[in-house]
Amino acid sequence: MIRVLVVDDQDLIRAGLVALLQAAPGIEVVAEADDGESAVDRAAHVRPDVILMDIRMPGMDGTVATERILAAADDPVPRILVLTTFDLDEYVYAALRAGASGFLLKDTGPQRLIDAVTAVARGGMLFAPSVTRRLIETYVHHADPTPDPAPDLDVLTARECEVLRLTARGLSNTEIAAQLYIGEATVKTHLNRTMTKLNVDSRAQAVVVAYESGLVVPGAR
């Protein structure tokens, strides 16, 4: 069973999400929260596999809650799926930067939502790489300066840097494998090692690092 925590400040929307997920085979809603602070508390107590996180909430928003949950989580770290109204949204960028595994628009259909929760629980990402790139390119030069410097890419091998660069440019694992003449499993291995070395929890977070470190320049081909 995929154990899910549903977070949304609107009671009606939250109730609808809970009912939909509870009716789906293989999914169990183990807790609900109506704001970011209670989401952090619930996540620590029930240790869900997936957190469906509303991004805009009064008080502690979904981005801060995502940061705190992932910072405090023991392995296995929960996968966080952000709910948003607009796909190009600075809140979504901040959530990806904090380690969210993807995002869904709030007008997503029921089956798409169920498929998304399942995919994220299995370690997948929830959006096309090109969408990630477009979002990050839009906001990376407009974001507030980070309090911590970007990770040093010198810890990466030349091949890991190349795989990260192509990932950040929006290529899928299959496309990267074809371009570099290596197997898709090898691409995944390089990405996993890169994420470990950079101390990031998701592919999207690694892409953010690639832009913020200057490995990839927004708009460059």
pLDDT one-digit tens code per residue, 83-99? 888 766 777 788 888 88
C-alpha angle with apex 113: 64 to 57, nearest 5 degrees? 25
| CA 24, 28, 32, 36 torsion-angle sign | negative
pLDDT band for position 179 (50/70/90)? very high
Q: Are 71 and 173 in contact (CB under 8 A)?
A: no
What are the backbone dihedrals phi and psi of residue 186, each rounded to the nearest 5 degrees, phi first?
A: -70, -40
8-41 tens-digit pLDDT:
999 999 999 999 999 999 999 999 999 999 999 9
Write down the pLDDT at residue 135.
72
Q: Enumerate the H helices of the chain as residue ranges.
A: 11-23, 36-46, 62-72, 90-98, 110-121, 129-139, 158-168, 173-180, 184-198, 203-212
Q: Are 109 and 116 in contact (CB under 8 A)?
A: no
